[in-house]
């Protein structure tokens, strides 16, 4: 395993607390947004906040930020494919 990096990254407690605080703020935004009616943009707003929260969790708590480019590209590709599948589902529902 010559190409595998086995070094561990110690994330400072302050960084973890800042990410946690950002997640709490985004959760509050999620709850607050439910009291507004954005019309057809309700789903877009909800998915935007959820994607942002998922990105924070993946980058810091799952340590994707410290992985190589290939792993990051694979995760990004999976998210793009998921977004396409969700988008196609919305188009299918919209035209029924």
Return the HEC string of the chain: CCCCCCCCCCCCHHHHHHHHHHHHHHHHHHHHHCCCCCHHHHHHHHHHHHHHHHHHHHHHHCCHHHCCHHHHHHHHHHHHHHHHHHHHHHHHHHCC
Give pLDDT, residue 77. Answer: 95
The model's pLDDT over 15-34, given as tens digits with 9 standing for 90+, comes to: 999 999 999 999 999 999 98
Q: Is the pLDDT of residue 2 over 70?
A: no
Q: Tell me the average pLDDT of the chain.
A: 86
Residue 53 has pLDDT above 90, yes or no: yes
Domain range list for the chain: 13-94
With a threshold of 0.75, does the pTM exceed it?
A: no
């Amino acid at each position: 395993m010559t190409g595998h990096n086995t070094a561990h990254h110690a994330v400072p407690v302050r960084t973890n607390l800042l990410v946690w605080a950002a997640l709490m703020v985004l959760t509050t935004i999620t709850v607050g947004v439910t009291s507004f009616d954005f019309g057809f943009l309700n789903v877009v707003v909800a998915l935007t906040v959820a994607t942002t929260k998922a990105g924070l969790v993946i980058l810091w708590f799952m340590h994707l930020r410290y992985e190589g480019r290939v792993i990051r590209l694979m995760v990004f590709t999976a998210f793009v494919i998921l977004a396409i599948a969700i988008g196609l589902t919305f188009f299918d529902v919209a035209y029924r």
